[in-house]
Amino acid sequence: MPELPEVEGVVRALSPRIEGKEISKVTLSETVYHSHRQGKQCIVKNMEPKEFATALIGMSIKKIKRRAKYIFFEIEKDGHPYILVNHLGMTGAWFVVQNENEIVEEKFRKHIHAIFQLNTNELLVFSDIRRFGEMRLLNAIDEHPPLLEMAPEPFDEGACTYFLGKCESKKYMNKPIKEVIMDGQVISGCGNIYATEALFKMKIHPGRKVSRISKKRKRELFKTIQNILQVSIEMGGSTISDYRNINGEAGGMQNRLKMYGKTVCPNCHTKTKSIIIGGRTSVYCPKCQH
């Protein structure tokens, strides 16, 4: 699943290619239309696909930004601002091409669900193999309340204090640390990969209760998460299964991961263990992490 560094990579690659351009036509897949007829709302949320496609015609893309694991397309029509909020889900990927056939990998070419034709005749293409991706066309972010509950950006001043405050709240103090750092209301954009890596680096067992970790260590853990996210952004993110940047390239961070997906601890060569925390598989070293 793309986490903050992967989403940041997509935004940095997309912005110079699409900012300032206008959407002249939107084509959605038959799967999207069919799912809405079945009441399932695949990819396009809270709006009829036809209405969504029509509304976007003539809109110009002013700016594209990342917030946590979301991509915000700030768009405008007739002086009225809108936001197209996109979540990549498990396997969402964007491409900017002249022609769909330029998308090299067949699995992405076969699962195209939205094509935004631009006034430059380029195509902004959204492909999603597993279809957990989302798009919402909003007037403002308060139309989708979960966007208002997100923790501050992890690099913002105050994000660490915010995290420490949440850790002391009744809601989180008795929960396993891994579940807490993966909660988007506590830290923005830290998913399974980077939570696993940060806890290994800090030698903290993923199931340890938040209240049983000192404030000093929690502060260090937060710094470790910031650092791992930063390094991963610089490495172009992690490609575990289907993440690609807009040029169809994989990231480089997966080669630097020390615990996520590993069967043996790189420090002590003990076999790693795996437990389920907050519904997600958590890999750790039973000897190094307490």
Positions annotated as catalytic residues are 2-3, 69, 280
Laid out side by side, the sheet with 123-128 consists of 23-28, 112-118, 123-128, 92-97
Minimum distance from residue 17 beta carbon to Zn ion (Å): 43
CA distance 168 to 185: 14
> Which lies closer to Zn ion via its Cβ, residue 56 or residue 199?
199
Q: Does 287 bind Zn ion (CB under 5 A)?
A: yes
CA distance 127 to 112: 4
> Which lies closer to Zn ion via its Cβ, residue 112 or residue 283?
283
CA distance 125 to 27: 10
Minimum distance from residue 266 beta carbon to Zn ion (Å): 8
Residue from 268, 274, 281, 290 in contact with Zn ion (CB under 5 A): 268
**Nearest to Zn ion by Cβ — which residue?**
265
Residue from 26, 160, 229, 288 in contact with Zn ion (CB under 5 A): 288
Cβ(144)–Cβ(138) under 8 Å? Answer: yes
> Which lies closer to Zn ion via its Cβ, residue 117 or residue 267?
267
> Which lies closer to Zn ion via its Cβ, residue 127 or residue 282?
282
DSSP for 78-99? TTEEEEEEEE-TTTEEEEEESS
CA distances from 206 to 43, 143, 170, 179, 226 (A): 32, 35, 19, 8, 18
What mask, x for binding Zn ion by CB under 5 A, covers residues 228 to 267? -------------------------------------x-x
Residues making contact with Zn ion (CB under 5 A) = 265, 267-268, 270, 285, 287-288
